[in-house]
Structure 1
Amino acid sequence: MIFNVRASIFKDPQYYINSKPKLSCSNSPPTEIKIDKNNSRIIAVGDIHGDFHTLLHALYKAKVINKNSEWIGGATIVIQLGDQLDKGGRGSISVDHTNDSVEELKIIEFLHNLHFQALANGGGVYSLIGNHELMNIMGDFRYVSPLHIDGFGGYEQRKELFKPGGALAVKLACNTNGIMKIGDWIFVHAGLLPEHIENFTLGNINKIVRDILLGKTNMNNIGPEIYDLMFNQNSLFWNRYYTIDTNPEKCKILNKTLNILNIGKTGGMVVGHTPQKHITSGCNNKLWMADVGMSSAFGSKNNNSDRVEILEIINNGKIINVI
């Protein structure tokens, strides 16, 4: 399927290379969104990994954009679960037939532009930070395709743009969250555990993420508590606790987490990060795993719709569909 996208919404990487970003956010996205629990629609989109066409196809399949890539979703709230970056680094399975060296930047800018179209209609388009965004912030480009390195003017230029306080790090800081609560649903890249919210509120977590991206945090002296929250293997951006071998003990931990956050009976948690064959649920539908490896970073596809799945949550979870 061919989508038309208005070229004027995209900025050339040179724009960001030449810019001097303001190291603050005047209008960052909210941590929590209240919804009409009897008349609402949420669409969750899993990891994109640099595949702009797959993102468009997912949004079209969710009936929130048309073939001209314009918002038609009304009051629908879309949330993308992170990992918008990094289309390479997976050996021979990674393919890229687009020859589009700025595809990642298009994803970031398109979702930002679509958000304002959605807001005008009572909806919204929100993005989360994933571990691959954090890897780029820290200068770890192992999973960046060579084409996308070139698209940003080479390794050093990409590093400059994504470093804490760099132009694209600031753009991410001001337009994404680490975690969101929409109605009675928690959306997070890898998974939220009780230990993450023993000493931090969801708002605290988003401020910590934002300050790191803005370059306000001394990364040489962040302390073990924040390091564990952000960067270790059990962090909310990296852990696979719920998504590998989901079992009753893990469901107890999930329910403990949800109870701490006063999540209602029809609510739950939606995560990405760990690819599944299909969008999968666990813990009596309190847990939904929405990463299905949609990107061509995970190999060739048979057709446009191959592997593209999204999660639809109607009326705060009274109805849940895999589309």
Structure 2
Amino acid sequence: MPKIYFSCLFLIAVFALDLHAKERFNDGPYLIYQQNDLLQFDIKQNHLTITPYQGPYSIPEHFSIAKKDTYNNVEKWAAISDIHGQVSIFITLLKNNKVIDAHHNWQFGQGHLIITGDIFDRGDTVTEALWLIYKLEQQAEKAGGKVHYLLGNHEYMVLRGDERYLHPKYVSTLNVMQKDLKSLFSANTVLGQWLRSKATIIKLNQLVFLHGGIHQDFIDLNLSLEQANQHFRNSIGLTKKEMLNNPTHIALHATTGPIWYRGYFRDAQLQQTDIQSILKALDAQRIVVGHTSFEQLETRYNNKVLAIDSSIKNGIKGELLMWQNQQFIRADMQGQHSSFFVE
């Protein structure tokens, strides 16, 4: 993908803000369009620097929406969820399980990496995680593989400006940059445009991947995955009040909607027959979700629901779910593999 270059010279604007902060911090880059220029905002030791963007990331003129939301015959894949600003655990899992190399570059070949949402909030290395995914996405494409970054409830919250779950570091970022959260990831930014191109639900090898879960209410909407993903994209940035004008948006963002639903683990009335009915409607064999946290990977409903939020958000450890050699594999921080379940 082409990079954006600048032919004119810019002055470097440096703002030394004395925040009287207890801890100095770094953050960035944030790439923001201003008129016809792409500017890079970096914070080093609480000082904001604004320069013309020179690299190293490849920035397309437009971020393309994936041409399809269903993928078949993928020989190997890895799935992870709810990283929540814990990039070191994310890197350790990917590196020790040979998805990336020691230099954090893609080495998974034609494999697919699926991230079922919630990169944002809680932890203090959200920006680093976003740019790592951004880079790996491009590297995977060149290798014949794929990175699927699916949006979770915290992505949608951030994109509409909800600051309640930010780590204090990012509150400081907003203060230094004199911006609110919604503008930091608006459609006038590189990361904001990139996020707006993402899907929320995909199907891969007859498995449906998403953040929260599929409730019968979603099935009753009678939407294809492509239609659902486009409705979700159209809802980005809307306030709850603005969503009231669109019944589909209301349903998608409800507590039984795909990014919020926790019923697989909390609804005592839900039966195996209910899960089978949902899977039949989706023409799928299993559903893979994050959102509801456990100490490790879990299964429910005779292995038809696979739960992959392994509490990475706590900053201690996590697990990957992998598919290799026709087996579901539990992959840990040390790169040790064990069978996830046997049928």
TM-score, scaled to structure 2 = 0.73
1:251-302 alpha-carbon deviations (Å, 9 max, x no partner): 3222111101222xxx31100001011100112211100001113xx2x53x
| TM superposition shift of 1:87 | 1.7
Tell me if 1:170 matches 2:193.
yes
**Higher strand proportion:** 2
Tell me if 1:53 matches 2:88.
yes
Structure 2: gaps spanning 5 or more residues: 1-26, 39-60, 332-343
Percentage identity across paired residues of the two chains = 25
SS of residue in 2 equivalent to 1:135: helix
TM-score, scaled to structure 1 = 0.77
Could you tell me which amino acid in structure 2 is paired with residue 274 of structure 1? T
Structure 1: gaps spanning 5 or more residues: 1-10, 89-95, 97-102, 302-306
SS of residue in 2 equivalent to 1:321: strand
SS of residue in 2 equivalent to 1:16: strand
SS of residue in 2 equivalent to 1:59: helix
SS of residue in 1 equivalent to 2:182: helix
Aligned pairs (5 A) from 1:139-158: 139-152=161-174, 153=176, 156-158=179-181
RMSD: 2.7
Aligned pairs (5 A) from 1:269-284: 269-284=287-302
**1:189/1:237 contact within 8 Å kept:** yes
Could you tell me which amino acid in structure 2 is paired with residue 32 of structure 1? D
Work out which of the residue numbers 82, 85, 98 in structure 2 matches 1:63.
98
Aligned pairs (5 A) from 1:164-313: 165-167=187-189, 168-174=191-197, 176-199=198-221, 200-213=223-236, 219=242, 221-230=244-253, 232-244=254-266, 249-263=270-284, 267-295=285-313, 298=314, 301=316, 307-313=317-323
Matched residue pairs, number?
Answer: 278
SS of residue in 1 equivalent to 2:181: helix
Against the structure 1 CA distance between its residues 80 and 138, is the aligned structure 2 distance closer, same or farther, given a 3 Å change threshold? same
Could you tell me which amino acid in structure 2 is paired with residue 243 of structure 1? F
1:6 corresponds to: none
Against the structure 1 CA distance between its residues 135 and 155, is the aligned structure 2 distance closer, same or farther, given a 3 Å change threshold? farther
| TM superposition shift of 1:110 | 1.5
Q: Distance in 1 between matches of 2:234 and 2:128?
A: 24
**1:238/1:273 contact within 8 Å kept:** yes
**2:163/2:181 contact within 8 Å kept:** no
Tell me if 1:32 matches 2:53.
no
| TM superposition shift of 1:170 | 2.5
| TM superposition shift of 1:221 | 4.8
**Higher helix proportion:** 1
1:100 corresponds to: none
SS of residue in 2 equivalent to 1:312: strand
Q: Work out which structure has the larger RCO, using CA pairs closer than 8 Å and 6 or more positions apart in sequence.
A: 1
| TM superposition shift of 1:154 | 5.4
1:16 corresponds to: 32
Q: Distance in 2 between matches of 1:172 and 1:195?
A: 26
| TM superposition shift of 1:124 | 0.9
SS of residue in 2 equivalent to 1:243: helix
Against the structure 1 CA distance between its residues 288 and 192, is the aligned structure 2 distance closer, same or farther, given a 3 Å change threshold? same
1:15-57 alpha-carbon deviations (Å, 9 max, x no partner): 2264779xx96511244343326xx111111110011112111
